[in-house]
Structure 1
Amino acid sequence: MSHSNLNKSKISLAIAATLGLSMPAIAQDQAEENNKKNDSFETIVVTGSPGGRTQIESAVAVTSVDAEMIKDFQPSSEAEVFRMIPGIQVAGTSGPGGNSNIAVRGLPVATGGSPFVQIQEDGLPTVLFGDIQFGNNDYWTRFDASVDRVEGVRGGTAGTFTSQAPGAIINYISNYGEIEGGFVKLTTGLGYDENRVDFRYGGPAGNTVNFHLGGYMKSGKGPLDAGYNVSESFQLKGNLTKFLADDVSYIRFLFKVADTQEPNYTGAPALASYSGNKIDNVKPFPGFDGRSQSNYSIHNQEFLIVSRQGDLERVKMSGITTQALSLGNELHFEFADGIVLDNKLRWTDMSGGFTAPFLNATPTSGVIGSEVNGATVAEIRYANGPQAGDVYNKEFLNNNTNVRTNIRDIGSFVNDLTLSKEFDFAGDIFTVRAGYFFMNQDIAMDWHTNRTFSELSGDDPAMLDLFDDAGNQLTANGIAGFNDNWGSCCARDYDLSYTNTAPYVSLDYDTELMTLDASIRRETVDASGWTYAGGASFMTDIDGISIPTMIGNGSSEKLNYSVSYDSWTVGGLYKLNENNSLFARTSRGGRFNGDRQTVSGKIEADGSLNQVGQTAAVDFVNQSEIGIKHRGDVLGGYYTFELTLLQGDFKQSTFELSATRCPGGAGGCVIDAKYESTGAEVLGSLRVGDFSLVGNATFTDAQKQAAGSTDWVRADGIPDLIYTVSSSYDVTEQVRVGLNVTGQSDSIDGAGNEYPASMTFGGHIAYSPTENLEFTIQGYNLTDEFDLRGNGGLVQSSSSQTVISGAPAIGRTMKASVSVKF
């Protein structure tokens, strides 16, 4: 909703309240009318459900978050936007580049990415699978000025109205230029180097044509000062809508151009107390405060890799990079006989990279005396930086990889066609909808995971070189091995293609008092392409130092298989009255285990899946839910309230590439487990005069049963409670202030260690001297909380102190902006 419409409604509410002293009936009618205009329950749901219904009339758990709410909340990463949607459980601390683990409704992320959550732009997936290795779906979408709102549908129809999303769909819906106007906004960091320009403009381009353009540009070192520009991003999105002669049918053309570079924060060490598997009193590690520092460094802003061709190549430590060009088309056509055709298509040319300094704090004493490259380490020295050549004598160092993943191609073509027809039976409406979904997803990458040693510091850490007792240098600028940090599994080179076809049918019956619906989807995924794991080790000479090297020229797989499965849901809603509805739903949704099937022993020599691969190919999620949606008037304003009770379970068998979750710390393993969860989602809003409040909470009891075990234990990485509350108040016509909080209860890591509950506060103050000009100051984590938001890892425990690692939220961060509306 536009700012001007919001102001008009607020003025109307104030007038109604005043007139209420003498004319209460008129005031009440006016308030109710304005409440209805601003009520989120009146938003038409367009994601993962039959179209044409408002939220309060839809038998699904759905939330719409508009651009104004997101702007006031000031998320620090793309994934933190999702914390505003109940049911979505994500830490949001991985940074603006992405690579978050996005869970939903207590269904944990067994390895990485978003296995049960699909991110869409304008109703179509950005990538087919949410957990592509080094290609998670939160890399490829950016919230900017082109977005009108973000809509989240959880459970049920998410598994039958699109593919690979039995848990949830998160849909970025563009502004289509229905209302003329736009803005330019300039934002700068206060006390840190980051600048951003947001812009948009749209409106009618004639009697039957609307258009919209929007995007952003961003540059800087970021709030966790990297010493060099880690943010260099640009995105432009546009659309043109032509309405046809009936003024209802339309054809729309869309495009996106993006070239982004943003950091992925890989964690920081911290100090804590540790007793009985409980971690408490978490505070910054001396010399490395994860609230304001990161592992990015001017001494590691570029490094050597050995390319897939076996050549030395120097690459930038550029975080997560994306390059995308997409062209799309939508057609909505209503025939004279009542048949409605909807078709959406998008072609995307997309590539990128993942280049980051992974962090693993380890005692220096554990490296001294260990064997590296066939020799015993006797001494460690600084390899570069102001102390180059000096002996390194700090208690801890970082021995994790510098990783470079070259995403050569992650392009796609997707088309979703539906035909629907309504039948009128004495005022009751029966709707039949049939569709066909097609998507081809390419995934071509080569991985480079160097064995690396560096200083444990948040202030431009230096690289470290290792020496034996004879003074022989064992590493080259901190590199002990090229492409071999996780073994032969992960010196990987592959070019894969997955084609997903899915016919689907939905039946919908709508009466004055209730709706009933059922839908089913038949998925078929065809896999093709090839993979190569690491081959025999050879030596690469770097200034006279021989470094073991591995490239993807070893054992190979040729994929040639097809998997089919069904997803279904049945649900209904009872309309108690215009302000209250009850709904219930049960569903079984599947998701295909894509590139994580490869290099895991699941594929036969002829390209087919063996018995283990067939069992692991599809993960099914069973869900049941019941909910209430309610709204009402209060104090001259209005409120909305939603409560959904839910239960779900799934079984997963997937490949984990790193030693992080593998038993015994071995790189590359298959993880098998069952999961189940019960819980509740709550969403509420309040608007009284110039005050507004919106909040959500997700309660879950998530349990896990490992393969071969009969015991159910608490699932790691899932807090029992996660919540977000955001408020805003118009102090005067020119001044607006707001406060928000996001937090969660305690959670555990894979070893059963419990991490404390936490919360962070944010706020903003805006001043508008004129209707078209606004100055804003925003604050994130105002109390500078060391907010770890979940599990990390235990580095070393002792009676005096415990060293842990994790990914804390960014500390106190202030921004200033000025925007001009026109």
Structure 2
Amino acid sequence: MASKKVALLSSAAILLVAGGVTSAQAQESDQVLDEIVVTGTASQKSQIESAVAVTQVSGDVIENFQPISEADLYRLLPGIQTAGTAGPGGNANIAVRGLPVATGGAPFVQIQEDGLPTVLFGDIQFGNNDYWTNFDSTTRAVEALRGGTAGTFASQAPGAVINYISRTGEEEGGMVRLRTGLGFDEKQIDFRLGGDLSDTVRYHVGGYFRDGEGPLESGFDVIESIQIKGNVTKDFSDGSGFFRANVKFADTQEPNYTGAPYTFSSGGNNPGGADTFPGFDGLEQSAYSALNQTMLVLEPSGFERVELNGISTKQLAIGFELDKDLNETFSVNNKFRWQDMEGAFANAFFGVARTDGLVGSTLSINGNPYATVAEVRYASGPNAGQVFNDTYYDNNAIFRTDVDDIGSIVNDLQLTGNFDTGAGYLTAVAGFFYMDQKIAADWKVNRGNREISGDNAAPLDLFDAAGNQLTQAGISGYNNNWGSCCSRDYDLSYANSAPYFALDLDNDRFNIDGSVRFDTVDATGNTVGAGQEFFVDPSGANVGTDVADYVPGMGYITALLPNGGQEALDYSVDYTSWTVGGLFKVNSDTSVFARASRGNRFNSDRQTFAGNFNGDGSLTEAGETTAVDEVNQYELGIKHRGSIGDGSYSIEATLLDGDFSQNTFEIDGSGTRCPGGAGTCVLSNDFKSRGFELYGTLNVGKLSLVGTGTYTDAEVKGSTAPEFTPAERIPDFQYALAANYDVNDWVWGGVSLNGQTKIVNGGRTWDGVNTFSGYVRVSPFENITFGLDAYNLFDDIAFREGASIADESGTPIVGTGGSVLGRTFRASVTYDF
């Protein structure tokens, strides 16, 4: 324990003097606290003069940090806590400041592009906000605002707003980069171009094309993605503002990694000694398989063959921004975006079970047994028809959720007045936000069995003692893996309107601000849940709902369809968020601030199918209790910059204390979070959290550093728990440190550390993990740069969210987990112009 405390304190000390990443950033990070805050504030101040916890990280810094997903990128942002192991497709759990993720997504975090949300709610089921925003070369910087005004200048964001800020053509020129995986199939082309079209008109366009199998062996090309973003800006000739039109097109297909098998040398409450599983190296291989590239799903109209190709999205966004000074006192800003979006989550969740528990088990319909499993055989592949005798098999759900419509219309209007009061400048803001968010989806959750192999795993068929087949191509049930919970079809709409007001008084020594937001969410739509379980024959016909309807050898298996109970939604919820804060300017290089806030987030589609609505669409008493989660936060921060010899440094540090509630629907694939091991439940918990967050920069000669860290003591009290216990999947301390060294004008490189201390998951404590990455850049010719990037240099197994133990009966112990990628190399060549 003492050694861990020493490591924690040492890491914190290092982070207090950390900073920037490339030769270009060595100069840039000197000015990091001078960057103008554009997210969630009443007036455009620099970071050192803003009484909020906000950090802006440049696109160059992010690229050299080598994030493999958006969630991995967020580990560079103080206060944001995420594993970043789900893969580039998304579906990560994104927590903030100890506000954990009970079920999935980012319930307290809003992701924005240029000041507007991509989706209104961060934890839409199978439509999480990290599906729809992808960092690329058009991103100038990512700004993270935590707590405080995040809840009053944005809806559904009491924890944080993460804002992707686009390049807008101020710099003439662009670049083209070709990148390829070394030892694995992945190709990517990045490009951007911008500059002036006239004296008052400028433009920027860029994006990427990417395809291939991906860094983990998949058996087919899981990656097929394109994203293009562009904007045109007209600056008013009198200098009074600008008008900007923007467009985004994305058609992406990316892998989502749901875990792999591992062995452990010890189990109990503190498992350790993780190693790869025989025949499945989770650092190099995945659960994707050419033999499971597609599957049949059962629709009301019959069978349909669909792809199991990870997370796919289609997005077209068109918008504009008007920023105009009306006179010397008043200005107006209006942001608008229309989005047409749809997507799908199509993947096999991963699980481990003993085969001897499958043989001899019974199959049931509506709780009544109708057959007994006597033998397991390979359904396809080189061993098709042979008996399967492995000790373990993969028995988790095979999921296809089609998000048919997740489009939206959003507008944010602000009127700002600036007044000289004599005691300082008073900025007053009156704003109105409106967003209409569609959520239409249908779930198809098949029950299936597969061998455990990292090399094109085959599906498994079940047979009874008479040799009658009990499954269809490895599928033992359509839409019923977790019983009647998850055969769903719904079409919902949430209209969020929010007037908000802010005052900010600023003078030479201090500023004081306060803001309030009045949210109203109008929910409409309908849902259809599962009907009665029935037998379906190989043609897709319903042949009965009773054991007596079963005919051995006819290929009947059980199924559900969304033709059962319906819900109507027709209700409105109002709530208020507020914050007050102040900053004292000790001198031009040091400021301190304090803030208190109360923010809220609305529980959207996760409230459905849980008995929360009356027949007329209004909320039940239980629904009213769980409709809104409240977050209270208190902050005390310091921002400082200075010199060390010939170098410079900057520090941002914030002390945190908060409490909050969370109510949400859980699909508990691990069987550890729902009471009694139930597959689904509604979780209602109270939380409290305290800690600190850090971000720092250091530049000395040819060396530059950037560092970030978040410490939280997060605890949870369940609705039936007698006391608070450590919150699951939240590390005590999460940190990142990156160093760059410029050898000369044409050679530079760097290394980075990405780590965390212990976490609790599934009632077990998992030790802290560290991973190291590095890069080298060589520019032997003007405007041409060759690059080599190495991710996870030491090929470490790192379970950032912990793992689960499936079998402790033998040696070694067997379990599952989602580790970071194994050692991965990419090479690139970039032409700048």
Q: TM-score, normalised by structure 2?
A: 0.94
Residue 265 of structure 1 deviates from its aligned partner by 0.3
Of 530-539 and 671-680, the range deviating more from structure 2: 530-539
- Contact persistence 2:152–2:515 (CA under 8 A): yes
Match of 1:569 among 548, 569, 579: 579
The residue aligned with 2:771 is: 760
Residue identity opposite 1:503 in structure 2: P
Q: Counterparts of 2:179 and 2:537 in 1: how far apart (Å)?
A: 47
Pairing 1:703–2:699 present: no
Instruction: State how 1:317-716 maps to structure 2 within 5 Å.
Output: 317-373=308-364, 374-426=370-422, 428-542=424-538, 544-660=554-670, 661-716=673-728
The residue aligned with 1:148 is: 140
Residue identity opposite 1:315 in structure 2: V
User: What do residues 164-218 of structure 1 show as CA deviations (whole Å, max 9, x unaligned)?
Assistant: 0000000111001111110000000000000000000001111001100010000
- Contact persistence 1:415–1:437 (CA under 8 A): yes
Question: SS of the residue aligned with 1:790?
Answer: strand
- Contact persistence 1:756–1:790 (CA under 8 A): no
- Contact persistence 2:23–2:742 (CA under 8 A): no
Q: Counterparts of 1:799 and 1:394 in 2: how far apart (Å)?
A: 15
Residue 336 of structure 1 deviates from its aligned partner by 1.7
Match of 1:69 among 47, 54, 61: 61
The residue aligned with 1:82 is: 74
Q: Counterparts of 2:38 and 2:96 in 1: how far apart (Å)?
A: 20
Residue identity opposite 1:716 in structure 2: E
Residue identity opposite 2:753 in structure 1: V
Residue 537 of structure 1 deviates from its aligned partner by 2.2
- Contact persistence 1:659–1:665 (CA under 8 A): no
- Contact persistence 2:245–2:319 (CA under 8 A): yes
Question: SS of the residue aligned with 1:553?
Answer: coil
Q: Counterparts of 2:30 and 2:168 in 1: how far apart (Å)?
A: 19
Q: 1:481 to 1:498 in 2, by over 3 A?
A: same
Residue 75 of structure 1 deviates from its aligned partner by 0.9
- Contact persistence 1:570–1:587 (CA under 8 A): yes
Q: Counterparts of 2:447 and 2:801 in 1: how far apart (Å)?
A: 27
The residue aligned with 1:283 is: 275
The residue aligned with 2:197 is: 205
Question: SS of the residue aligned with 2:556?
Answer: strand
Residue identity opposite 1:709 in structure 2: A
Residue identity opposite 1:124 in structure 2: L
User: What do residues 458-484 of structure 1 show as CA deviations (whole Å, max 9, x unaligned)?
Assistant: 111100001111111111111001111
Pairing 1:297–2:308 present: no
Match of 1:773 among 763, 784, 797: 784
Q: Counterparts of 1:305 and 1:162 in 2: how far apart (Å)?
A: 39
Q: Counterparts of 1:483 and 1:397 in 2: how far apart (Å)?
A: 21
Residue identity opposite 1:705 in structure 2: K
Q: 1:193 to 1:156 in 2, by over 3 A?
A: same
- Contact persistence 2:42–2:427 (CA under 8 A): no
- Structure 2 unaligned regions, length at least 5: 1-20, 365-369, 540-553
Residue identity opposite 2:591 in structure 1: S
Question: SS of the residue aligned with 1:731?
Answer: strand
Residue identity opposite 1:809 in structure 2: V
Q: Counterparts of 1:669 and 1:159 in 2: how far apart (Å)?
A: 28
Residue identity opposite 2:468 in structure 1: N
Q: Counterparts of 2:755 and 2:237 in 1: how far apart (Å)?
A: 51
The residue aligned with 1:793 is: 804
User: What do residues 470-514 of structure 1 show as CA deviations (whole Å, max 9, x unaligned)?
Assistant: 111111111001111122221000000000000000010001000
The residue aligned with 2:250 is: 258
The residue aligned with 1:18 is: none
Residue 540 of structure 1 deviates from its aligned partner by 2.4
Q: Counterparts of 2:72 and 2:583 in 1: how far apart (Å)?
A: 31
Q: 1:704 to 1:761 in 2, by over 3 A?
A: same
Residue 377 of structure 1 deviates from its aligned partner by 0.8
Residue 662 of structure 1 deviates from its aligned partner by 1.9
List 4+ stretches of structure 1 deviating above 6 A. 5-10
The residue aligned with 1:720 is: 732
Q: Counterparts of 1:188 and 1:427 in 2: how far apart (Å)?
A: 59
- Contact persistence 2:23–2:748 (CA under 8 A): no
Instruction: State how 1:41-120 maps to structure 2 within 5 Å.
Output: 41-120=33-112
- Contact persistence 2:600–2:630 (CA under 8 A): yes
User: What do residues 115-174 of structure 1 show as CA deviations (whole Å, max 9, x unaligned)?
Assistant: 000000000000000000111000001111111111100001100000000000001110
Question: SS of the residue aligned with 1:158?
Answer: helix
**Root mean square deviation, CA, Å:** 1.4
Residue 427 of structure 1 deviates from its aligned partner by 6.2
Residue 276 of structure 1 deviates from its aligned partner by 4.2
User: What do residues 75-112 of structure 1 show as CA deviations (whole Å, max 9, x unaligned)?
Assistant: 11111000000110000000000000000001111111
Residue 300 of structure 1 deviates from its aligned partner by 0.1
Pairing 1:122–2:114 present: yes
In the comparison of the two structures, how many residue pairs are matched? 792
User: What do residues 361-419 of structure 1 show as CA deviations (whole Å, max 9, x unaligned)?
Assistant: 11111111111242111110000011011111111101111100011000000000000
Residue identity opposite 1:745 in structure 2: T
Q: Counterparts of 1:6 and 1:590 in 2: how far apart (Å)?
A: 39
Question: SS of the residue aligned with 2:274?
Answer: strand
Residue identity opposite 1:676 in structure 2: K
- Contact persistence 1:659–1:666 (CA under 8 A): no
The residue aligned with 1:30 is: none
Q: 1:275 to 1:257 in 2, by over 3 A?
A: closer
User: What do residues 195-250 of structure 1 show as CA deviations (whole Å, max 9, x unaligned)?
Assistant: 00000000111100110001000000011010110000000000001011322311
The residue aligned with 1:271 is: 263
Question: SS of the residue aligned with 1:612?
Answer: helix
Residue identity opposite 2:608 in structure 1: T
- Contact persistence 2:487–2:562 (CA under 8 A): yes
Question: SS of the residue aligned with 1:106?
Answer: coil
- Contact persistence 2:772–2:793 (CA under 8 A): yes
Residue 275 of structure 1 deviates from its aligned partner by 4.7
Residue 8 of structure 1 deviates from its aligned partner by 8.2
Match of 1:174 among 156, 166, 182: 166
Residue 6 of structure 1 deviates from its aligned partner by 8.3
Residue identity opposite 1:130 in structure 2: G
The residue aligned with 2:548 is: none
- Contact persistence 1:407–1:445 (CA under 8 A): yes
The residue aligned with 1:22 is: none
Q: Counterparts of 1:394 and 1:742 in 2: how far apart (Å)?
A: 37
Q: Counterparts of 1:159 and 1:700 in 2: how far apart (Å)?
A: 20
Residue identity opposite 2:803 in structure 1: G
The residue aligned with 1:137 is: 129
- Contact persistence 2:759–2:766 (CA under 8 A): yes
Question: SS of the residue aligned with 1:216?
Answer: strand
- Structure 1 unaligned regions, length at least 5: 11-33
- Contact persistence 2:267–2:808 (CA under 8 A): no
Residue identity opposite 1:654 in structure 2: T
User: What do residues 663-682 of structure 1 show as CA deviations (whole Å, max 9, x unaligned)?
Assistant: 23323311111111110101
Residue 635 of structure 1 deviates from its aligned partner by 2.5
Question: SS of the residue aligned with 1:80?
Answer: helix
